[in-house]
Structure 1
Amino acid sequence: MTNATERVLSAIREAIIELELRPGAMIDKNALCVEFGVSRFPVSDALNRLQAEGLVEILPQRGSRVARIRMTDLTEAMFIRRPLEAEMVRALAPNASDEWLFELEGNFAYQTLAVERGDRREFHRLDLAFHEMMLSRLDFPRVTATVDSARRTLARARKILASPRRLADTLREHSAILAALKARDGDAAATAMNIHLDAVLSQLSVLVAANPGVFVVDEKPPAAEAG
């Protein structure tokens, strides 16, 4: 991948995940060429790669658009995360060190402040860090890579879902996970993690039904085309 393609790819991916480019929006290649000061090739290459990631649709004779979010992708991502993260906390709880628990408590304290301030962006960052602190403690690189991939699939939907109510619910669910870890109770920690992830999927299902222009239910992804 050339430096130009990598730069364009990174910028477009971030704009899509941060919802600056909304699901279903058409993508103007010429405007991107001007914005990044590049030829059409790096832009086309970047869009092809983003299509492989499920973030862009390339439509023959019509151009490219930001992919809507597929419910089947969300369901699959949660199906992957649920057993891995439940077993993660089950394994970590019995031997949780005071030092590590103190770090988790510090993160949770900042989560609480973010909810009180209504700072969705900061809460999202801390939420990711909370789970990452557990994954890094487990220290199974392939598990981390698999969970990270599933979380990226969920990123756009999670940002749309981030209402004040969902943030407060997530905080309570994280509190239950943390309490079980502090008690060194692996079964309780796994149960709390399952409740947390099940709640996310349940609320995502409601969100999908209420936003048909943003989400797609049971639609197969389009075949890859040249840009």
Structure 2
Amino acid sequence: MAKGAHSKADAVYGELKRAILTGALEPGSLIEKAELCEKFNVSRYPVSAAVSRLAYDQLVDVAPQHGSFVSRISLNDVRERLFIRSALEGEIAAEAARRMTPADTEALSANLTEAEAAVDAEDRAAFYGADVAFHQILTARLAMARAGEVLDGLRVHLERVRRILMAPPGRIREALAEHRAVARAIEAGDAAAARDAMTRHLGVTAELLERVAQERPGIFAA
């Protein structure tokens, strides 16, 4: 692929991926290639290349003779990823309670202040960023690079469903309260309480998933 075509395909890919992950393109929706060509002022090739990459990422399903569609969210995959996150992050929270320094807990406190400002302003995008950062602070401050990589990999594939689960009124404020409970236990040096608070936090997410799966079955695959 020529350099110009490659950069155009990258641009289309990035835009489509953001739209899928943020829910602007809903699961099951048709990807209109002709509209994308017009929107980005490109030929069909960069659009097709971008769609192929998204199919490799399992974000798009390509049905020959029918078109390309935003993939539905695999319910079993999400359940498994949440299970792994809960098991791993519960232990990370416990270890944080044992090892984190006052400077580390100050970083958590600053994050919670940022998240509270986002909640008060009803700025969901800012809250989502603070939410991810809260969990990343734990692995970063504990120098758990490999655990951080595993969790980041899980998080990418949970991004679409996370935004759906955070959508109900009041949910982001509840999530903030759950983060505060984790931080309090860590600051107190109570490993068992920190583990419990983190697993409860992720358990709420799992419960919301099952509720949404009942209410909106069309966005999920088995």
TM score, norm. by length of structure 1: 0.89
Give the partner amino acid of 2:71: A
Q: Is the 8 A contact 2:8 2:42 kept in 1?
A: yes
Find the residue that maps to 2:217 and give its secondary structure.
coil
State the Cα distance separating 1:79 from its structure 2 match: 1.8
Matches of 1:190 and 1:51 in 2, distance apart? Answer: 37
- Aligned counterpart, 1:165: 170
Q: Which runs of 5+ in 2 are unaligned?
A: none
Structure 2 residue 77 is the aligned partner of structure 1 residue 73? yes
Q: Is the 8 A contact 1:173 1:192 kept in 2?
A: yes
- For this pair of structures, how many residues does the alignment match? 217
- Aligned counterpart, 1:203: 208
Give the partner amino acid of 1:201: A
State the Cα distance separating 1:44 from its structure 2 match: 1.7
Deviations 1:36-72 (A, max 9, x none): 2333232222212212222111111111011121211
Structure 2 residue 153 is the aligned partner of structure 1 residue 132? no
Q: Which runs of 5+ in 1 are unaligned?
A: 219-227
Give the partner amino acid of 1:24: G
Structure 1 vs Structure 2 CA RMSD: 1.6
Flag the 1:113–1:164 CA change in 2: closer, same or farther, 3 A: farther
| Counterpart selection for 2:41 from 37, 42, 48 | 37
| Counterpart selection for 1:186 from 160, 178, 191 | 191
- Aligned counterpart, 2:107: 103
- Greater alpha carbon shift after TM alignment, 196-205 vs 80-89: 80-89
State the Cα distance separating 1:149 from its structure 2 match: 1.5
State the Cα distance separating 1:183 from its structure 2 match: 0.7
Map of 1:43-82 to 2, 5 A cutoff? 43-82=47-86
Structure 2 residue 18 is the aligned partner of structure 1 residue 7? no
Give the partner amino acid of 2:32: D
State the Cα distance separating 1:205 from its structure 2 match: 0.9
TM score, norm. by length of structure 2: 0.91
Matches of 1:146 and 1:41 in 2, distance apart? Answer: 34
Q: Is the 8 A contact 1:32 1:43 kept in 2?
A: yes
Matches of 1:110 and 1:116 in 2, distance apart? Answer: 10
Matches of 1:165 and 1:54 in 2, distance apart? Answer: 31
Find the residue that maps to 1:26 and give its secondary structure.
coil
Flag the 1:214–1:91 CA change in 2: closer, same or farther, 3 A: same
State the Cα distance separating 1:164 from its structure 2 match: 2.6
Give the partner amino acid of 2:165: L
Identity of aligned residues (%): 36
Matches of 1:37 and 1:81 in 2, distance apart? Answer: 41
Give the partner amino acid of 1:206: R
Find the residue that maps to 1:64 and give its secondary structure.
strand
Give the partner amino acid of 2:194: A
